[in-house]
Structure 1
Amino acid sequence: MALESLDTVVLSRWQFALTAIFHMLWPVLTTGMSIYLVVIEGLWLKTKNLTYYHHARFWSKLYILNFGIGVASGLPMAFQFGLNWAPFSESVGDFFGTLLGFEATMAFMLEASFLGIMIFGWQRVPPVMHWISTICVAFGANLSTFWILSANSWLQTPTGGVFVEGKFRVQDYFQAIANPFMVKSFAHMFFATLETSLFVIGGISAWYLLQNRLPNFFTKSLKVVLVMALVIAPLQVFVGHLSAEQVYHYQPAKLAAMEALWETVPAGTPADWSVIALPNEAAETNTFEVKIPALLSYLLALRPKLDTPILGLKEWAPSDRPHLVGLIYYSFRLMVAIGLYLAALAIVTIFVWWRTGLEGDRLRNYQWLWWGWIFAGPLGYLAVEAGWIVRCVGRQPWIVYGQLRTAEAASDLPPQVVLFSLSGLVALYTIFFFAALFFGSRIIQKGPNVALPIPGQANAEELEIRIKLAQHQPDRRPLDI
């Protein structure tokens, strides 16, 4: 393909998609795993069970690895707003930039400040203070999620100000931050990160159980995961349903793309739900489709008929509606299917736990279950990525919904320049990815160090040695202890 035929806007979108999709892999685990670390460390403080302490030390290694790669992979995203999307930054930067600034100064700095204590403070600060540091790390990580979701939700439903000559003027910061999409979107992402992290931890624990390696140790982590997942997984399905409802009310074109719905369903008419379809954008129809009668009406309003119509894609001109309908359609269904699978897996495992106790030799009888958990490990990532594809690709052709088009928000750069930076990021992220796999696999293969002394024990032993040395040297000056 000749460079002259390349489109700068398309290349800039591909570059941002690459950075967003890759970067998202790492904060998803750190934000969710930080809450698990708070729980597991709290259990150690409450029960004094040394196993919980060793769990906190083991899983925090994976947390640190993900945190480091997340920071490195996220830096290019910030630079793109000024380089590839300068008109966008000029138009909405007074508000959008402020929220990203809040994320950096409030959330990331809080997380990074206490992370040092969490990593190096085991033998240097009291256990309660270390736990408080872990809580601050978790709070900072999830506060970061709040600000990012608030900023992105504002792009979906811009409120709190007006556009004057193409520039957004803030009139009410609180209204803009608490835009109509914000609460449900943040809740959906919060549960997504936590659920993904729980099933990653559960999948790694199942891998150890399948090998019959430290079964008592990893049965304990799996049980903690199960108790949390039994609440989080079904709740995430419900919050996801609420998020789909808000799309119906605020972004009907996106809903039509999510359902590959070309013709409008009039009010008072049952809306069928498409199980599988082959969208044909050129013909504005589905080549093949399997439907369940009236199910979409029940999903949106819990009744067979809706009071308002469900608009089809043909209601908008091709330039004003989402494209890549097939990608949006199947990304949404992939996300839903994974959510249902994870919830079902948690329920089945709880039932097995209730029937057998998940103890001793009985664990060997459930290899099929451990394979189910190992399979579930990466599925949370796929669901998160699929959800963001629906969220962002479904918003097109708008970067600020109904106000600023994506094509108008991109910088006027030579396509060769964008292609060069895109190629560099592909190479860099490939190195990051394989480095993460290498070091992550080393951590998992090595396993936990169950011989680690509890905090304070090493200092007490050192103090005892120094006292004995002082007692055996009466002719010398006593050691300063």
Structure 2
Amino acid sequence: MFGLDAFHLARIQFAFTVSFHIIFPAITIGLASFLAVLEGLWLKSKNEVYRDLYHFWSKIFAVNFGMGVVSGLVMAYQFGTNWSGFSQFAGSITGPLLTYEVLTAFFLEAGFLGVMLFGWNRVGRGLHFFATCMVALGTIISTFWILASNSWMQTPQGFAIQDGVVIPVDWMAIVFNPSFPFRLMHMATAAFLASAFFVGASAAWHLLRKNDTPAIRKMLSMALWMALIVSPIQAMLGDMHGLNTLKHQPAKIAAIEGHWENPGNEPTPLILFGVPDMEQEKTKYALEIPYLGSLILTHSLHQQVPALKSFPKEDRPNSTIIFWSFRVMAGLGMLMVLLGVVSLWLRFRDRLYSSRPFLWFTLLMGPSGLIAILAGWFTTEIGRQPWVVYGLMRTKDAVSAHGEMHMSLSLLAFIAVYMSVFGVGYIYLVKLIKKGPQSGEGDHTPEGGPGTSHTPSRPLSAVQENLSSSQETK
């Protein structure tokens, strides 16, 4: 397929499924905490706006949660079908870590999700709020274990190798490996920001359509406070993560910077734009700022950043890709900070809800958090190459022994199924968002799942909407 061998097709297939999946957990993490905040504010203030927003976003959460679970199961199977070499080598560590996620996060979410989605008029307010908080906590715990597993692959420690297989020696060292704290904070914060911009863009769309209600204004206000406060924090976390990566994965930093060699003792410039060429070992059309590379990456005007030519060719990540994926992430991060600052200025001028250029800016920034997450994961995962477990196992040794025809057909099948199934899910989410929050939502009691009141409800049963009455006609 397209002249690619089975190894590269397996990598593309996993990248495709991860890219689809990661969007759903990111929104789930942010919305779960948002729902807990909304319900807590409603219980404290008795303001019905918070209640209406809770019921509106709980429907979005339910659809998103369902698609996230389905897309996540596919990746778990791929470890055995496409990456059996990796599973055999490192399964004694990654297997238990993913099991801990199931035993803690999944069980916690499964125990309280039904109460959260269907128990509004069936249990006390305190118990329902507790259930919402437990679901939110479950998403954070899930992030903890997933990032522990992936971070160990980036900076492995606490293990021994016996008979060509990794054996766990110190679980505390394995879980709290050198990159884990930075990657956990960076990813969790990214999920909160992505959800905030998702919520803010939804409110901006309604305001641009003249659907100006207290609930819509509250959505926009809360989202922009999050952007203002959290965007600069995320930038600082990114800087800390970069310093950690420089220490433990210097080749990744060199590839991100498109930096090939260090002449003499000159400080490293920052290459703003350029086209890294892996064959010619140089970055073409480079636009450089002297000293800035050293200042940002080493916090010094004298120290040099490691150069790609100091690493063997076979150990270099593909700079052509991650040079630009990193800049997409960083550029969107700067726009997020700008949006937050502008929102504060407009808030004080009492134009936050009426400035159409700003509302268009907010609407266009809606997918920016998710795009930045995808760009960041491309940077992280491609930057780890050619290693699947950094310094221990090469990716080419981790792939299963499949033929090109098998991988081509399965990849095409994944593309067709994902585009159809999740494409419908995306369209449904957009229609729900277009309808907007309605006053008095949540007053009815769900009767159960499809068929009769005795049929157990599933997450999607929480969405009982007639979308034909949406706000699209306004």
TM-score w.r.t. length of structure 2: 0.91
Q: How many angstroms does 1:112 deviate by?
A: 2.6
Distance in 2 separating the partners of 1:389 and 1:169: 29
- 1:443 maps to which residue? 432
- 1:343 maps to which residue? 337
1:261-410 equivalences under 5 Å are 261-264=259-262, 269-306=266-303, 309-323=304-318, 325-356=319-350, 358=352, 363-364=353-354, 366-410=355-399
Matched, 1:46 2:47: no
Q: Deviations over 1:427-458 (max 9, x none)?
A: 111013321222112212222221336589xx
- 2:406 maps to which residue? 417
Contact 1:32/1:193 (<8 A) preserved: yes
The letter of the residue matching 1:322 is P
Q: Deviations over 1:39-65 (max 9, x none)?
A: 111110000001100000001111111
The letter of the residue matching 1:381 is L
Distance in 2 separating the partners of 1:215 and 1:357: 15
If you compute each CA radius of gyration, which structure gives the higher value, 1 or 2?
Answer: 1
SS at match of 1:394: helix
Distance in 2 separating the partners of 1:447 and 1:275: 41
Evaluate the alpha carbon distance shift between residue 78 and residue 265 of structure 1 in structure 2; reply closer, same or farther with a 3 A threshold. Answer: farther
Distance in 2 separating the partners of 1:259 and 1:135: 41
The letter of the residue matching 1:435 is V
Distance in 1 separating the partners of 2:101 and 2:420: 27
Distance in 1 separating the partners of 2:426 and 2:441: 25
Distance in 2 separating the partners of 1:54 and 1:214: 15
Runs of 5+ consecutive residues of structure 2 not aligned to the other structure = 446-474
Contact 1:237/1:339 (<8 A) preserved: yes
- 1:23 maps to which residue? 21
- 1:109 maps to which residue? 107
Distance in 2 separating the partners of 1:185 and 1:285: 30
Q: Deviations over 1:301-352 (max 9, x none)?
A: 322112xx422111122211112x1210000011001111111101110121
Distance in 1 separating the partners of 2:415 and 2:101: 26
SS at match of 1:356: coil
Q: Mean Cα displacement is larger for which, 280-289 or 209-218?
A: 209-218
Contact 1:208/1:215 (<8 A) preserved: no
Contact 2:297/2:305 (<8 A) preserved: no
Q: Mean Cα displacement is larger for which, 165-174 or 394-403?
A: 165-174
Distance in 2 separating the partners of 1:18 and 1:349: 35
Moved over 6 A (4+): none
The letter of the residue matching 1:414 is G
Distance in 2 separating the partners of 1:137 and 1:297: 43
Runs of 5+ consecutive residues of structure 1 not aligned to the other structure = 457-481
Distance in 1 separating the partners of 2:441 and 2:254: 56
RMSD (Å), alpha carbons: 1.6
Q: How many angstroms does 1:357 deviate by?
A: 6.4
Q: How many angstroms does 1:377 deviate by?
A: 0.5
- 2:471 maps to which residue? none
Q: How many angstroms does 1:387 deviate by?
A: 0.3
Q: How many angstroms does 1:241 deviate by?
A: 0.9
The letter of the residue matching 1:225 is A
Contact 1:127/1:455 (<8 A) preserved: no
Contact 1:264/1:315 (<8 A) preserved: no
- 2:419 maps to which residue? 430
SS at match of 1:437: helix
Q: Deviations over 1:385-409 (max 9, x none)?
A: 0000010000000000000000001
SS at match of 2:271: strand
The letter of the residue matching 1:390 is T
Distance in 1 separating the partners of 2:291 and 2:213: 48
Q: Mean Cα displacement is larger for which, 399-408 or 229-238?
A: 229-238
The letter of the residue matching 1:274 is I
Contact 1:159/1:175 (<8 A) preserved: yes
Distance in 2 separating the partners of 1:330 and 1:203: 25
Distance in 2 separating the partners of 1:354 and 1:129: 38
Q: How many angstroms does 1:263 deviate by?
A: 0.7
Distance in 1 separating the partners of 2:144 and 2:44: 30
Evaluate the alpha carbon distance shift between residue 265 and residue 136 of structure 1 in structure 2; reply closer, same or farther with a 3 A threshold. Answer: farther
Q: How many angstroms does 1:300 deviate by?
A: 1.8
Give the length in aligned residue pairs. Answer: 445
TM-score w.r.t. length of structure 1: 0.90
Contact 1:199/1:373 (<8 A) preserved: yes
Which one of the candidate residues 146, 157, 160 is aligned to 2:158? 160
Q: Deviations over 1:102-142 (max 9, x none)?
A: 11221122123211111101100111211111111111011
Matched, 1:97 2:95: yes
- 2:72 maps to which residue? 74
SS at match of 1:271: coil
Q: How many angstroms does 1:164 deviate by?
A: 2.4
Distance in 2 separating the partners of 1:140 and 1:155: 23
The letter of the residue matching 1:277 is G
Contact 2:52/2:215 (<8 A) preserved: no
Distance in 2 separating the partners of 1:94 and 1:279: 38
Distance in 2 separating the partners of 1:68 and 1:412: 32
Distance in 1 separating the partners of 2:253 and 2:357: 37
Contact 2:24/2:68 (<8 A) preserved: yes
1:465-480 equivalences under 5 Å are none
Distance in 2 separating the partners of 1:17 and 1:70: 16
Q: How many angstroms does 1:246 deviate by?
A: 0.9
Evaluate the alpha carbon distance shift between residue 284 and residue 203 of structure 1 in structure 2; reply closer, same or farther with a 3 A threshold. Answer: same
SS at match of 2:288: strand
Which one of the candidate residues 244, 247, 250 is aligned to 1:249? 247
Q: How many angstroms does 1:33 deviate by?
A: 1.0
Matched, 1:130 2:124: no
